[in-house]
Amino acid sequence: MTPSVLAGVDGSPESTTAALWAADEAVLRGAPLRLVHAWPWLTDGVATFAEPDDLPAAAQRVLASAADAIRERHPDLVVHTDAVLDAPVDGLVAAAEDAALLVLGSRGLGGFTGLLLGSVGMAAAARSTVPVVVVREPGSPDGAGDDGPEVLVGVDAHAPEEEVLAFAFQEAALRGARVRAVHGWDLPPVFGYAGGAVPPTEIAQLEALEAKLLTLALAGQRERHPDTVVIEDVRLGAARGLVEASAGAALLVVGRRHRSLDFGPRLGRVAHAALHHAQSPVAVIPHP
């Protein structure tokens, strides 16, 4: 059975937008959609689990409203709804363990309006064992520009991660989109120690080397997806380059390394910057 696409819903406009994005993704994948509403106080605290008839009316309305909006757009899509008696992050991460991916809104109810990403989205993206997609609020670019849709992927050409690249190329294939692979690089520290401006010829030589590394990093996925148009994009500054390139993209794909020896899961600086500042939906892919 095709793994489901899971979307967390909480009744906010952002979560409804995310659920609709998840529905479109489920249709592309030929997968069922599962809507999950996680909240630690779904019952009066006496029962250890929540039966459908015991759920507060508000929880039922949240799930029903999202499901109705999705069925209006995709009447043939299989949609399941579940309420989870757990804290939002714990409940969503656990529910997504068997899913293909987890989709969340950029900010839920109770979030600070000045932040593009709420605490639930940040924590889930850092902890989930499956890819997490964070979808921007209504009115965000849909990724269908004059040249067609584009999937953007951040690549560390010095240590490319196949899981991240494979996800990006799969998403591009589903959409009939091209892939823009962005490799951000920084000047070696020695230039900072020396002081003064870096000669343009030195920068050009370094950039040419970084471009060769990017070509090598993409070779495997190019071979597996010969019909996908690939644009190789080398820029100074990893996080800044991705954020700048995200305008108009259908999806931005970044990696997040498992850090089992750390005191807790966390995002790297590139994923952190992308989630807070990118103008497109952002997919965070866990990898070893």
What is the pLDDT at residue 113? 38
**Residue 40: pLDDT above 90?**
no
Q: How many CB atoms lie within 10 A of CB 191?
A: 16
Most confident of the ranges 36-45, 122-131, 132-141, 212-221 = 212-221
Q: Is the confidence at residue 38, as pLDDT, over 90? A: no
C-alpha closest to that of 178 among 169, 187, 186, 189: 169
Q: What is the pLDDT of residue 110?
A: 43
In which band, very low, low, confident or very high, does the pLDDT at 140 lie, cut at 50, 70 and 90?
Answer: very low
Pick left, alpha or beta for residue 196 (phi over 0 → left; psi -120 to 50 → alpha; otherwise beta). Answer: left
What is 121-183 written as a DSSP string? Answer: HHHHHHH-SS-EEEEPPTT---SEETTEEEEEEE--TTS--HHHHHHHHHHHHHHT-EEEEEE
Q: Report d(CA 276, CA 188) in Å as an integer.
A: 27
pLDDT exceeds 70 at position 2: yes
Is the per-residue pLDDT at 141 higher than 60?
no
Query: How does pLDDT run across 70-88, given as a tens digit for each residue?
Result: 999 999 999 999 988 888 8
How far apart are the C-alpha atoms of 270 and 186, rounded to whole Å?
A: 13
Evaluate whether the domain defined by 144-287 bears CATH number 3.40.50.12370. yes
pLDDT of residue 229: 97
Whether the per-residue pLDDT at 149 is higher than 80: the answer is yes
Q: What is the pLDDT of residue 43?
A: 46
What is residue 234's predicted lDDT score, i.e. its pLDDT?
93
Which structure tokens are listed for 23?
């529905």
Token output for 288 = 């070893």
User: Residue 30: helix, strand or coil by DSSP?
Assistant: coil
Give tens-digit pLDDT for 210-228.
999 999 999 999 999 999 9
Is residue 139 a contact partner of residue 106, using CB atoms and an 8 Å limit?
no
Mean pLDDT in residue range 58-71: 90
Q: Domains of the chain: which residue ranges?
A: 5-135, 144-287
Distance, CA of 267 to CA of 46 (rounded, Å): 37
What pLDDT score was predicted for residue 60?
80
49 versus 2: which is more confidently predicted? 2
Confidence (pLDDT) at 118? 64
The residue written with tokens 């409940």 in the block is 91
pTM, two decimals, is: 0.86
Confidence of residue 263 (pLDDT cuts 50, 70, 90): very low
**What was the pLDDT predicted at 120?**
82
Long-range contacts from 55-58, C-beta under 8 angstroms, 24+ separation: 55/83, 58/11
Token digits of residue 262 = 């750390």
CATH architecture of 5-135: 3-Layer(aba) Sandwich (3.40)
Q: How confident is the model at residue 53 (pLDDT cuts 50, 70, 90)?
A: low
- Are 32 and 7 contacting, i.e. CB atoms less than 8 angstroms apart? no
Instruction: Using CB atoms within 10 Å of the CB of residue 153, give its burial: 0 to 12 exposed, 13 to 18 middle, 19+ buried.
Output: buried
Name the helix (H) or strand (E) containing 59: helix 57-73
